[in-house]
Copies of this chain bind each other. A is one copy, B any other.
Amino acid sequence: MQLQPILIDGQWRQADVAGEFRAENPATREPLEESYPVSSWRDCDEALNAAVAAAARLRGMSGAQIAHFLDRAAERIDSQRDAIVRLAHLETALAISPRLADIELPRTTNQLRQAAAAARDGSWALPTIDVKANIRSCFAPIGPVCVLGPNNFPLAFNSVCGGDFAAAIAAGNPVIAKGHPSHPGTTRLLAEEVRAAADETGMPTGAVQLLYRLGPADGLRLAADPRIGATGFTGSRRAGLKLKAAADAAGKPIYLEMSSINPVVILPHALAERAAEIVDQFVASCLAGSGQFCTNPGLVILLAGRESEAFLAAVADRFRTAPVGTLLAGGVASALAASVENLRSGGANIVAGGTVGGGPGHSFANTLLRVSGRQFLASAAALQSEAFGNASLSVLAADVAEASRIVESLEGNLTGSIYSSSAGHDDLAYFELASRLRPRVGRLLGDKMPTGVAVSPAMNHGGPFPATGHPGFTAVGIPASLRRFSMLTCYDNVRNHRLPQLLADKNPTGQTWRCVDGRWTHEDVQ
């Protein structure tokens, strides 16, 4: 059977094949029909050359042209919604409705449209003008971006149309997408629409390219190639750290979203006040999408006592009775089983679940574990390793002081949440714990579970290592996410007609925010 073609320099063509693979329906464990190629380095090399040519052409295009492309890609994806979500469901077992059709696909096209608006407007680039010295600077494209997408968002973080893609393109860069091998068909459908949109809107042929799979050495080589501007990666810590080492050694920026257990502290007066509501929120957040979110609450920190015991009992009960979902792949199920075993080896006990199976296809019982604060502190490294899926570890701290030490033992995370009494009864504990949690997480939540990452300009979907590779950047939230894929460019004494439009005397749109002599304004430079 012929392998599906890859997309190189505007053409769908056969890969230089180093191997082949098929996706699997995780709900039936049956392989799906189509076969996809593993590319050799030659495909990467050709993609890189086309991307370099595209990068040069994109630098000469206006934000409005790039925006047109992104808007058109969103329209085309919306128009193929049914086919896309049907295949995504087959490849991932995520529910068609509401998850894929009503949440993730609209999120995906909304991100593309927000990125288009950011590209059109230009304010994302923080144009900064010192009139008297005639020194002007802004962020500008960094060059070809390699995007490696994750398994858990087949649409919204897909390498050919997701968050990193939208940010890289909106910042003016071509993208070399490396699809996730668990949903190649979904990626193909999305890439067809995006490629057609690129054609329709006059993008260079190398603006969007797609490879389905690489040998591991070629992935590292790609992230370190001199022709690459930067890499965006979402996935496991193990793969992420290897890519990081390769990119770092070559001096290439890489943005990684690797792993996070997203601690949730629930203080006793919050439970006394509204336990049922918090149980609902916690169970929903833990089990949604079978827990396969980067912001899944994998660690809940409680103070030992009656309220906390009642909370855990209620959660365990709900975990046992809730349906067990299908996991994204067999590898996710076996990794989850190994991770739970790892937590047990660290001293945690199973409260609910803990066994393989229980749902259709690849699955693992909804799992709640518990451990004392003292034991957590004794095995902090093992007990904060991520168990990706529908499992969560509760830690019962003896008192606020011990809870503080637990928080201080945590490595970097994407999020941290604290539930506290609305009447102020937990305020002392809140202050104590929040001050320690704050530097360890990218996003601090109040009375709220971490799943559901709003695409807001104020969002931070990032955090200290090893949650990501650098604590100054966010993968979600436009326009900030664009700045990952840019370099700071300064013009010193350059004549006005030679400046990029963003920095010329005249405000390019009349509405672009620029910082002129320390003042943010829409005005032209006088």
Q: Which residues of B contact A130 (CB under 8 A)?
A: 454, 456-459
Q: Which residues of B contact A80 (CB under 8 A)?
A: none
Q: Which of A14-22, A301-309, A512-520 sits within the interface? A: A512-520
- A109 interfacial by beta-carbon distance below 8 Å: no
0/1 per residue, A244-261, Cβ < 8 Å to B? 110011111100000000
- A156 interfacial by beta-carbon distance below 8 Å: no
Assess the A248–B253 pair: CB atoms within 8 A: no
Q: Which residues of B contact A459 (CB under 8 A)?
A: 130, 135, 137, 490, 492
CB under 8 Å from chain B, chain A span 359-374: none
Q: Which residues of B contact A466 (CB under 8 A)?
A: 251
Interface size class of A (residues with CB under 8 A): 35 or more
| Cβ contact of A494, chosen from B133, B142, B446, cutoff 8 A | B446
0/1 per residue, A426-469, Cβ < 8 Å to B? 00001000110011001111111000001011111011111001
0/1 per residue, A387-412, Cβ < 8 Å to B? 00000000000000000000000001
Assess the B498–A430 pair: CB atoms within 8 A: yes
Assess the A444–B489 pair: CB atoms within 8 A: yes
- A483 interfacial by beta-carbon distance below 8 Å: yes
Q: Which residues of B contact A472 (CB under 8 A)?
A: 139, 142, 253, 483, 486-488
Assess the A458–B137 pair: CB atoms within 8 A: yes
Q: Which residues of B contact A458 (CB under 8 A)?
A: 128-130, 133, 135-137, 490
> Taking the nearest CB of chain B, how far is it from the CB of A489, in angstroms?
7
Assess the A490–B142 pair: CB atoms within 8 A: no
- A493 interfacial by beta-carbon distance below 8 Å: yes
CB under 8 Å from chain B, chain A span 222-259: 244-245, 248-253
> Taking the nearest CB of chain B, how far is it from the CB of A421, in angstroms?
11
Assess the B251–A133 pair: CB atoms within 8 A: no
Interchain CA distance A458-B491 in the complex, whole Å: 9
Assess the A251–B486 pair: CB atoms within 8 A: no
- A143 interfacial by beta-carbon distance below 8 Å: yes
Q: Which residues of B contact A494 (CB under 8 A)?
A: 444-446
- A56 interfacial by beta-carbon distance below 8 Å: yes
> Taking the nearest CB of chain B, how far is it from the CB of A496, in angstroms?
10
With contacts A434-B498, A439-B143, A518-B457 taken as known, whether A488 is within 8 angstroms of B474 at the C-beta atoms is: yes
Assess the B454–A135 pair: CB atoms within 8 A: yes
**Which of A454, A483, A520 is the most central at the interface, judged by chain B CB atoms within 10 Å of its CB?**
A520
Interchain CA distance A465-B486 in the complex, whole Å: 14
| Cβ contact of A488, chosen from B244, B460, B490, cutoff 8 A | B460
Assess the B446–A133 pair: CB atoms within 8 A: no
Assess the A435–B59 pair: CB atoms within 8 A: yes
With contacts A456-B133, A488-B460 taken as known, whether A251 is within 8 angstroms of B465 at the C-beta atoms is: yes
Name 29 A/B residue pairs within 8 A (Cβ), A-sorted. Answer: A128-B458, A130-B454, A133-B454, A135-B456, A135-B459, A136-B458, A139-B472, A141-B439, A244-B251, A248-B249, A251-B466, A252-B465, A415-B492, A430-B498, A434-B498, A438-B489, A442-B488, A442-B489, A444-B489, A446-B495, A447-B493, A454-B492, A460-B488, A463-B487, A471-B487, A472-B483, A472-B488, A473-B488, A520-B520
* Known A143-B439, A444-B491; further 7 A-B contacts with Cβ < 8 A: A129-B458, A130-B456, A135-B454, A253-B471, A445-B494, A471-B487, A474-B488
A-B pairs with lowest CB-CB distance, top 4: A251-B465, A520-B520, A460-B490, A471-B487
